[in-house]
């Protein structure tokens, strides 16, 4: 797998993690003592991102943040999917040129 594909797949995995954490937070916002999941992403040297999930220091819901995180995850999915589609189109064009 080339660098472009693995970078885009890394972004898709990060979006999935962000979406899952936000969904978990919303589903459990009324659970006594619940602490939100917070996702942080760190860029990798060779491309892509590494994500981690940790519990918030304080208890309580932040529904606005979770809805925004869900929206961001959707945009991340779309952007990374577009990268994969563009890569496929470029590879196809290159193969057509070489053939």
Q: What is the pLDDT of residues 34-55, one digit of tens each?
A: 999 999 999 999 889 999 999 9
Tokens standing for residue 94: 């290159």
pTM equals: 0.84
What is the rounded distance in angstroms from the CA atom of residue 78 to the CA atom of residue 94? 24
What is the rounded distance in angstroms from the CA atom of residue 46 to the CA atom of residue 10? 11
Q: What per-residue confidence (pLDDT) applies to 72?
A: 95
Its sign, for the CA torsion 21, 26, 31, 34, is positive
What is the rounded distance in angstroms from the CA atom of residue 4 to the CA atom of residue 13? 14
What is the rounded distance in angstroms from the CA atom of residue 52 to the CA atom of residue 39? 6
């Amino acid at each position: 797998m080339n660098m472009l594909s693995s970078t885009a797949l890394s972004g898709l995995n990060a979006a999935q993690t962000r979406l899952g954490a936000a969904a978990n937070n919303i589903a459990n916002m009324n659970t006594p003592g619940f602490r939100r999941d917070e996702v942080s992403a760190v860029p990798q040297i060779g491309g892509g991102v590494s994500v981690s999930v940790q519990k918030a220091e304080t208890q309580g819901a932040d529904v606005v943040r979770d809805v925004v995180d869900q929206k961001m995850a959707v945009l991340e999915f779309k952007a990374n999917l577009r990268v994969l589609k563009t890569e496929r189109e470029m590879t196809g064009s290159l193969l057509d040129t070489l053939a």
